[in-house]
Every structure is written in C-alpha cells, then in structure tokens.
Structure 1
C-alpha cells in the first residue's frame, strides 16, 4: 500500500487541516513498525476532552481502502460532564470525517494506478 508512506500521509493530513476542523491540529503522522525498511506511517493524537490516545490506520485486507480508528486502552474510568462529552463528540466527528477523507484519497490513489 504505497499510499501509507509518511510523506503521503503527512500531505493528506495537511490537506485535511485546510478543511477547517477545529480539532485537526491534534493529528500527527508517526512511523509505523513495518517490514524491513518500509516507510509506512500511522496518524496519531491524544484527544483533548479525555486523556485517550488513538491512531488511525488503513484496513489491512488486500485491496481495502477503508480506514479505522483504534483507541488505546485506558487504565482508569473517565467520567465526563456534559461539556466534556460535547467536546468529545466534536473530536469524534472530526475523526469520522478524517476516516472518510482518507478513504477517498486512498480510493483515488488506487484508481489512478489502475
């Protein structure tokens, strides 16, 4: 999946930020442990409304262009008041939009190569 290179993912995140999502500033591209010298990356961040780390990565099935959010496990419960739940809903909406955006970019990448 050549569209998983760190440079490609970074350019897609930069493009996504121009769409105006308030929380897109928390996103960063990090290297992913890959086979050999592969240059693959993941998109990671820490949510602002609750101390939860997540990463966004493409689905791994051959030919798949979908993306999924994986939330890291937490050690403690995280009770949230209504204001923080509202903030969390905005962050989750941004993550959903990001996955849709990345899927569109991945599909365009795959279709351009065929």
Structure 2
C-alpha cells in the first residue's frame, strides 16, 4: 500500500479520522531537508504495516489549517492517531524502526 497524500480536511476526515485502523501521519514541507530524508522511511513503514495501519503525508504549506489543528510547530512532525486521537508524536528525522515502534504501541 502506498502512502496516502492528504490534500485537504475532507481527505483527512475520510482516510484518517473515519478509519478503524491507527494512522501515522507525516506533516512535511517540500523545502525541508529532514522531511526529504524521512520520506523513504515513511514509505517503508507504509509497506511494513500494509493492512494494519494507515500511513499518510500532509504538506503543511498546502494544509496550514490541519497543521495548526495538530499544533505542528516544526517539520517533519509525525503524529500517530488511534480512533481519531493523537497517541504519539515524533518531531524530526527518525529511522523506520522508530516510526514502526510508534505504530506498534497502538496496534
């Protein structure tokens, strides 16, 4: 399963909030160096957790309202949600093992 690109709040509601699976959401920006480094790690996590969790990316420049709602102060910020509620947050680059461990905590 590929990483889902969230383009707006309707996408977010549909793919993340209405899902019965936990979600790992990468808040990123195209100008952010560490975001480019964490991208392949997020994609690897999407493959590792296919069928078990939703993995999505949100461009904060294009979705400032969502970034604000989730108090994203810096990028990359990775938020883990279960039943629509934030259960974990990782700020900055982390390898796939740590990202996966954050999801393991809610599976």
Q: Which has the higher strand share?
A: 2
Structure of higher RCO (CA pairs closer than 8 Å, 6+ residues apart)? 2
Q: Same fold (TM over 0.5)?
A: no
When normalised by structure 2's length, the TM-score is 0.34
When normalised by structure 1's length, the TM-score is 0.33
Q: Which has the higher helix share?
A: 1
Larger radius of gyration: 1
